[in-house]
Chain A
Amino acid sequence: MTGEKWIANGVPTSFVKTTWQSAREDLEQTAQDAAQSKARPAVRESLRDLISQTRAAGSSLRQAAEANDRPGAQLQAGRLAALRQQFEAWKKSVGPP
């Protein structure tokens, strides 16, 4: 949503940066928790893959915002939205914790 709002001039670039910083910390925490969990290796692997893709897309979104590159930001915002859907599907496939 942050990317989408930045593209529409709804939030400042500094907000994209700080939101990404906070999201990255959460992702790192989730990655650590996943690494220590007792879930099946395949489940952990798919989550790790999603996290690394999200990390890459988020980082690219931040760079695009800093460079004032709106088409680039649009691309990354779309990638993040798709990853979010993949994450929801992953959650459903795994079931409740």
Chain B
Amino acid sequence: MNMKKATQLALGIVTGVGGFFDIGNLATSAQAGASFRLQLLWALALGTILVIFLIEMSGRFAAVSGKALPDAIREHFGFGFWLVPFLVLTLVHVLVLASEIGGICFALHLLTGLRPAVWALPVAILVWLFLWRSIFSTIENSTSLLGLLALGFVVAAVQHHPPSGELLAGMLPSLPHHDPAKYWLIAVSILGSVMAPYLFYFYSSGAVEDKWDSSYVGVNRGIAFLGMGFGSLIAFAAIVVAALVLAPRGIEVDDYHQAAMMLTDAFPFWGFILFAAIMAIACLGAGIEVSLSMAYTTAQTFGWNWGEDLNPREDARFCLVYTGAIFLSSLLILFGIDPLKLTLFTMAISAFVLPFVAIPFLLLMNDRKLLKEHANGWISNTVAAFLLVLSIVLAVVTIPLVFLGGS
């Protein structure tokens, strides 16, 4: 492996670590740990294994074909086939973006005491400016490096000395001792937050932006396994911290205020500020990624010019999409929607839409004309088949659980 690829691998892993953890992971991890201690670790472990495969496949596809997923799905299956998944993905993009903007606003609320809604428009402008002024590599690397601050959760988890027996028991699925509907809703939401559809669609466009070719298949595999693996370690640590700090005090997270105290036992003076900083940075990074992902998907669906490295004059419609998405999403927070409730609803919806957005992609991964020897082998296809079944089950159970578990 040459120096350039080694650097890309290292940066990719950092991006994976910093980019994995967002408001969905934070909210679902805090709720899972506070309400069910370590009993839901299995959902995170399962989601992580599946997202590693999804990310590996989407990067491999982009590296070998030179095309991003929406572009290829539209070309391969036709516009009519792609229209429904595209509309579903657009709705999820808007909701996830609103959740991320809500997360930044709440972090600023923690630091200043001003209501989250007050921050909605300034945050929208900040996200937009970041996108308008930066090129892809700046966005990718700066937010991911800052996102490493989230490793604070790992340090806190180690300091709390989690019981190893309970940790191991939590890795195996088990039935809840109380609130079964809530337990399953959180499990579904964890899966929705880890396998967020925007992640693998964004990743394939990023690979095209970085001009990957088939020589990057190995680098891509390393990034998918190590980046996503280490990234999930942060979410894992967040569950542990919530389980050891909030659960013993009988605190359940039905408001971000409760989650904000998660790090104050490990870091008595800085814990609160660290939590707010992690929340703000993780959401800023993810917010930028989701905005870009929506612009990539829309531009590729309609065959427009696209690329964060282009001058806005060269891809005006691409820029218009992320501009509109950011301001539309910020309106949800401006009108006072509770950021935590919005996030949990969005994560459940992400799980619900998984079959719509994953099926075309998984079908494409078996196209030997396009991918030749890099098409899915039996291991990837076994995981893909499991994922398809799981995504259909999630789609069926999510909506009833939202009503039962949210009550």
**Contact between A11 and B113, CB atoms less than 8 A apart:** no
Give the contacting residue for B269; candidates A9, A15, A19; CB below 8 A: A9
Q: Which A-chain residue is minimally distant from B254 (CB atoms)? A: A26
In angstroms, Cα B112 to Cα A8, docked, is 19
Whether, in the assembled complex, A95 has its beta carbon less than 8 Å from a beta carbon of chain B, the answer is: no
Chain B residues touching A, majority SS = loop
**Contact between B112 and A1, CB atoms less than 8 A apart:** no
Write out the residue numbers on chain B whose beta carbons fall within 8 Å of the beta carbon of A84. 250
Whether, in the assembled complex, B380 has its beta carbon less than 8 Å from a beta carbon of chain A, the answer is: no
Whether, in the assembled complex, B268 has its beta carbon less than 8 Å from a beta carbon of chain A, the answer is: yes
Whether, in the assembled complex, A41 has its beta carbon less than 8 Å from a beta carbon of chain B, the answer is: no
Report which residue of A2, A10, A17, A88 has the largest number of chain B beta carbons within 10 angstroms of its beta carbon: A10
Q: Which of A60-94 contact B (CB under 8 A)?
A: 84, 88
Whether, in the assembled complex, B210 has its beta carbon less than 8 Å from a beta carbon of chain A, the answer is: no
**Contact between A5 and B261, CB atoms less than 8 A apart:** yes
Write out the residue numbers on chain B whose beta carbons fall within 8 Å of the beta carbon of A17. 113
Give the contacting residue for A2; candidates B113, B250, B261, B271; CB below 8 A: B261
Q: Which of B252-268 contact A (CB under 8 A)?
A: 254-255, 257, 260-261, 264, 268
**Contact between B250 and A88, CB atoms less than 8 A apart:** yes
Whether, in the assembled complex, A18 has its beta carbon less than 8 Å from a beta carbon of chain B, the answer is: yes
Write out the residue numbers on chain B whose beta carbons fall within 8 Å of the beta carbon of A15. 110, 113, 257, 260, 272
**Contact between A18 and B113, CB atoms less than 8 A apart:** yes
In angstroms, Cα B271 to Cα A9, docked, is 11
Give the contacting residue for B272; candidates A10, A22, A88; CB below 8 A: A10
Q: Separation in Å of the A6 CB from the closest CB of chain B?
A: 10
Q: Separation in Å of the A84 CB from the closest CB of chain B?
A: 7
Whether, in the assembled complex, B251 has its beta carbon less than 8 Å from a beta carbon of chain A, the answer is: yes
In angstroms, Cα B268 to Cα A2, docked, is 12
| Known contacts A1-B251, A15-B113; A10/B257 CB under 8 A | no
**Contact between A5 and B264, CB atoms less than 8 A apart:** yes
Write out the residue numbers on chain B whose beta carbons fall within 8 Å of the beta carbon of A9. 268-269
Total number of B residues with any Cβ neighbor in A under 8 Å: 17
In angstroms, Cα B272 to Cα A11, docked, is 6
**Contact between B268 and A10, CB atoms less than 8 A apart:** yes
Q: Which B-chain residue is minimally distant from A15 (CB atoms)? A: B110
Write out the residue numbers on chain A whose beta carbons fall within 8 Å of the beta carbon of B269. 9-10
Whether, in the assembled complex, A46 has its beta carbon less than 8 Å from a beta carbon of chain B, the answer is: no
Total number of A residues with any Cβ neighbor in B under 8 Å: 17
| Known contacts A1-B249, A84-B250; A18/B257 CB under 8 A | yes
Give the contacting residue for A10; candidates B109, B113, B255, B271; CB below 8 A: B271
A-B contact count (CB 8 A): 41
In angstroms, Cα B113 to Cα A19, docked, is 10
Q: Which of A35-62 contact B (CB under 8 A)?
A: none
Q: Separation in Å of the B111 CB from the closest CB of chain A?
A: 8
Write out the residue numbers on chain A whose beta carbons fall within 8 Å of the beta carbon of B257. 2, 15, 18-19, 22
| Known contacts A8-B268, A10-B271, A12-B272; A1/B113 CB under 8 A | no
Q: Separation in Å of the A39 CB from the closest CB of chain B?
A: 17
**Contact between A22 and B255, CB atoms less than 8 A apart:** yes
Q: Separation in Å of the A4 CB from the closest CB of chain B?
A: 9
Write out the residue numbers on chain B whose beta carbons fall within 8 Å of the beta carbon of A14. 112-113
Q: Which A-chain residue is minimally distant from B178 (CB atoms)? A: A96
Q: Which B-chain residue is minimally distant from A20 (CB atoms)? A: B257
Give the contacting residue for A11; candidates B249, B254, B264; CB below 8 A: B264
Write out the residue numbers on chain B whose beta carbons fall within 8 Å of the beta carbon of A10. 261, 264, 268-269, 271-272
**Contact between A12 and B113, CB atoms less than 8 A apart:** yes
Give the contacting residue for A1; candidates B110, B254, B261; CB below 8 A: B261
In angstroms, Cα B254 to Cα A8, docked, is 24
Contact flags (1/0) for B219-262 with A, using CB distance below 8 Å?
00000000000000000000000000000011100110100110
Q: Which B-chain residue is minimally distant from A96 (CB atoms)? A: B178
Q: Which B-chain residue is minimally distant from A9 (CB atoms)? A: B269
Q: Separation in Å of the A93 CB from the closest CB of chain B?
A: 16
Write out the residue numbers on chain A whose beta carbons fall within 8 Å of the beta carbon of B264. 5, 10-11
Q: Which of B368-391 contact A (CB under 8 A)?
A: none
Write out the residue numbers on chain A whose beta carbons fall within 8 Å of the beta carbon of B268. 8-10
Q: Which A-chain residue is minimally distant from B257 (CB atoms)? A: A19
Write out the residue numbers on chain A whose beta carbons fall within 8 Å of the beta carbon of B261. 1-2, 5, 10-11
Q: Separation in Å of the A5 CB from the closest CB of chain B?
A: 5
Q: Separation in Å of the A64 CB from the closest CB of chain B?
A: 17
8 residue pairs A–B, Cβ–Cβ below 8 Å: A1-B251, A5-B272, A10-B268, A10-B272, A11-B261, A14-B112, A22-B257, A84-B250
Top 3 nearest A-B pairs by Cβ distance? A14-B113, A10-B264, A19-B257
